[in-house]
Amino acid sequence: MLLFLSAVEVQSGALDVVAKFGAKADEKTDLSKPLSDAWKEACAAATTSSIVIPKGVYFLSQATLEGPCKAPIELQVQGTIKSPTDPKAFKEPKWIEFNKVENFKMSGGGVFDGQGTRAYMREGCDKKDFCSALPINIRFDYLTNAMIQDITTRDSKQFHVNILVCKNITLQKFSVRAPKDSPNTDGIHIGRSDGVNIIDSDIRTGDDCISIRDGTKHLDIKGVTCGPGHGISIGSLGKFEKEEPVEGITASKCTLSDTTNGVRIKIWAGEYGGTVSDVHFEDITVKNVSCPVIVDQKYCPSNKCKMNAESNVKLSNISFKNIRGTAALPEVVKIICSGKFPCENVELADIDIKYSGPKGPGVSECKNVKPKITGKQNPPACAAPVPPNPTPTV
C-alpha cells in the first residue's frame, strides 16, 4: 500500500531542489547533483518525504535515484527536464533511473524531454541501422508499490519508459509524445513485472505504444489512447532462451488511431519456446488501423529468422471481444498460429471492423487455430486463407 501525506502536508515540508539545493532553471546548469542530494536526504528520512522540482526548464545530464529508502517518497515534477542532445553523452543506455524503491509516487504535471531528434537521424552512431546504447528516458527497475501520475515523456532517444522486475506499479494520466517516424521509441516497455496498471493514458510514438515482454503477469491496460505508433503488442517473444511465461494480460476500453497494428501478439518464427496465456482484448475502438487484430507467430522483421520454421511458443486462452472501427488495409483479422503448437482456446466475439479501400473487401485470415466464434463478425471470421507469403508486420 502506498502511504503518502496529503498534498498540503507534503508541500509544507517539501525538499525544493531550487530553494534548498541550488538547482537553476536555466537549461544549462546540471540538475544532477541538486536532485541527487535531495533524494539522499529524502531516502534517509524516517517519515514520508516529498521532493519538488518547481516550474521552469532544467538541464539534466543523468540521474540514478536508488533505494532502499526508510519511508515513502513523492517526487513532484512540475517543470520540464531536458536531456543532453548528443547520444555520445551517455555511457549507459539510460537517462533517469529509479531503482529498488518501495512506496514511491511521481506526479506534478512535469515533462521529461529526451531531445531525441538527433538520435532519430542516427547521427554519431557506429551502426546506422540501430544504436543499442541509446538512452531510455525513464527506467523503473525493481520498484514495489509505485504510482506515476500526470507525467509526460517526450522525444526519448530509445524507449520512453522501461518497467523491469516491478511489483504493483500504476501509470495513470501518463503521456508519451514522439514523431511517428522515430525509431525504436516504444512508449511503455514492460518485462518480468507483476501487477502493472496503465490507466487513462495517451501514447503517441514511432513504435509500440505498449510492448509486453517475457515474465509480465497481471497487467491491466484500461482507457489508453494510442496513435501514431505500432499498437499494443505482446512481444516480440521467442527470440531468446529461457523466456519467462506471459500471463494475465487485459487491455480494455482503448482507442487506437492511425497505427500500423491494433492489438497483437508477435512471436518469432522458429527460435525458442515459451508460453502466453490468459490474454484478453476487450472493448477496443480502431480508427484507420492497418492490421487491427493480429496474432503473428511468423514474426520475422528484416528477414532475420527462418520463415519456414514453426514457432515454439504455446498460446492459449486468448480472446478478442467487441472490437470495432475501421481498417486501413484489407487484412482486418490475421491469426497465424504455430503449426507445431497450434493456438488453444481462442475466442473471437463481436468483431465489426470496416475496410472500404481500393484493395477489395476486408478479410479475416486464420491458420493453425480453431477459434470459438460468437456475435457479429465483419469480416466473416476465418473465412480467408492465409497467403503463402503473409504481409510482414512491423
Q: Are 188 and 198 in contact (CB under 8 A)?
A: yes
pLDDT at 129: 47
Query: Residue 15 to residues 19, 40, 137: CA-CA distances in angstroms?
Result: 8, 11, 23
Nearest to 341 by CA among 360, 368, 364: 368
CB 219 within 8 A of CB 169: no
pLDDT at 13: 78
Measured between alpha carbons, how far is 138 from 333 in angstroms, rounded to an integer? 34
Q: How far is CA 351 from CA 204, 290, 312, in A?
A: 25, 15, 28
Whole-angstrom Cα distance, residue 13 to residue 19?
12
Give residue for cell 500500500. 1
Catalytic residues: 207, 230
So what's the pLDDT on residue 136?
97
Closest-CA residue to 200 (of 227, 232, 226, 231): 226
List of residues 6+ apart from 230 with CB closer than 8 A:
207, 208, 209, 259, 260, 261, 394
For the beta carbon of residue 33, count every other beta carbon within 10 angstroms: 15
Give strand pairing partners of 54: none
What is the secondary structure of 96-134 as a DSSP string? EEEES-EEEEEESS-EEE--THHHHTTTT-SSSS--TTP
Of 124, 122, 59, 135, the residue nearest 92 (C-alpha): 135
Which pTM was predicted? Answer: 0.95
Question: Among all chains, which residue has been given the C-alpha cell 456475435?
Answer: 375
Per-residue pLDDT at 351: 98
Per residue of the chain (394 residues), what is the pLDDT tens digit? 454 433 333 355 799 999 999 999 999 999 999 999 999 999 999 999 999 999 999 999 999 999 999 999 999 999 999 999 998 899 999 999 999 999 999 999 999 999 999 888 765 544 544 456 899 999 999 999 999 999 999 999 999 999 999 999 999 999 999 999 999 999 999 999 999 999 999 999 999 999 999 999 999 999 999 999 999 999 999 999 999 999 999 999 999 999 999 999 999 998 899 999 999 999 999 999 999 999 999 998 877 777 789 999 999 999 999 999 999 999 999 999 999 999 999 999 999 999 988 988 999 999 999 999 999 999 999 999 888 777 667 7
